[in-house]
Amino acid sequence: MGLLERLRKEWFILGIVLVIAVARLEPGVGVKGGPLKPEITITYIAVSAIFFNSGLSLKTEELTSALMHVKLHLFVQIFTLVFFPTAIWVFLQLLSITPINEWLLKGLQTVGCMPPPVSSAVILTKAVGGNEAAAIFNSAFGSFLGIVITPLLLLLFLGSSSSVPFTSIFSQLFMTVVVPLIIGQIVRRYIKDWLERKKPPFGAISSCVLLMIIYTTFCDTFANPNIDLDKFSLIIIVFIIFSIQMSFMFLTFLFSTRNNSTFTPADTVAIVFCSTHKSLTLGIPMLKIVFAGYEHLSLISVPLLIYHPAQILLGSLLVPTIKSWMVSRQK
């Protein structure tokens, strides 16, 4: 019974291992343009489903109170869109003298410029039991800021002459994040009593959708022929990415739990995930737009393709640890 109970609790981590293994064996199924059509099913349907689910499960009063948490939002957005890209730039000045592939290093800089994701940070915050409303607000708000700020950061740190069609990215974000969230909140008003009585498994539903996103992400990663280029540089980049994530998660944790901090343990969970996660869904289209015509575009994209599954993998593995810390602090 103990083993079954443990499997029931750890099913999400087991699911991650399984979908990665399946993606490695047959990446063609979930790759862009493949039978699953992730450019529609993931980009639109899965992301919309996650935010509709969040809208349905979130108590309206919690979301309203999250809007007022200005200090938390400022911390997350400044860390993500100012400190993160600047720290990476300083770090890359040191790495530029090493034999690591220069286009992979440029790719690391693009990771630093990306906004927070619209799904993984929210789901991991929810899985821990952190401040989900704050995570949703910062993911959505950060993504909207990113539409304007990310291309400007890319131009500042890497330079490019192309123009960016803000309107098409903005409209896609609005349709897949804001609209489903609002519809979920409206539907909730009419079936609130039923939801509180039945308590549907919102967390499990979101986790299943996230497994689908992980699967298609790894399909793209494994199907990319450039992943096999320069194995030394690639291994070093993977190591650097995990080191950056661990360091920045630890840094945000230290800042948000210091003695004079006004953040609750639930706030800290949202801060740690929202500040350190980066969006692949927004990132890859932006790179293709800003660096249109670059022959090294695929190599520039590789660090982001690695960072995205790495942040979900690392975050998922840390869920039990962060959860036990939060529960002990709340007691």
pLDDT tens digits, one per residue of 283-302: 777 777 677 666 677 778 88
- Residue whose tokens read 């291992």: 17
- Residue whose tokens read 């789901």: 123
C-alpha span between 17 and 46 (Å, rounded)? 20
Mean pLDDT of 207-226: 77
How many other C-beta atoms are found inside a 10 Å radius of the C-beta of residue 106?
19
Mean pLDDT of 223-237: 77
Q: Are 10 and 317 spatial neighbours (Cβ–Cβ below 8 Å)?
A: no
Any idea what the Cα angle at residue 267 is, between residues 266 and 273, rounded to 5°?
95
Note if the pTM is more than 0.75: no
In angstroms, how far is CA 20 from the centroid of its own chain? 17
Residue 253 confidence (pLDDT): 95
Mean pLDDT of 160-168: 58
Region of poorest pLDDT, from 21-35, 49-63, 255-269: 49-63
Region of poorest pLDDT, from 27-31, 42-46, 193-197, 310-314: 42-46
How many other C-beta atoms are found inside a 10 Å radius of the C-beta of residue 203?
16
| pLDDT of 250 over the 80 cut | yes
Mean pLDDT of 106-123: 88
C-alpha span between 26 and 20 (Å, rounded)? 10
Residue 66 confidence (pLDDT): 73
Q: Considering the chain, what percentage of its residues have pLDDT values greater than 90?
A: 27
Mean pLDDT of 165-181: 74
| pLDDT of 123 over the 80 cut | yes
Domains in the chain: how many in total? 1
Name the residue range of residue 26's domain.
Answer: 3-330
DSSP character at residue 1: -
Return phi, psi of residue 120, to 5°: -60, -45
Mean pLDDT of 129-156: 84
Give the CA-trace dihedral at 16, 22, 26, 27, to 10 degrees: 0
Higher per-residue confidence, 197 vs 5: 197
Higher per-residue confidence, 64 vs 324: 324
DSSP character at residue 226: G
Q: Considering the chain, what percentage of its residues have pLDDT values greater than 70?
A: 88
Model confidence at 39, pLDDT cuts 50, 70, 90, reads confident
Distance in angstroms between the alpha carbons of the first and the last residue of the chain: 28
C-alpha span between 128 and 322 (Å, rounded)? 7
Q: Are 278 and 311 spatial neighbours (Cβ–Cβ below 8 Å)?
A: yes
CATH code: domain of residue 190: 1.20.1530.20
Residue 1 confidence (pLDDT): 45
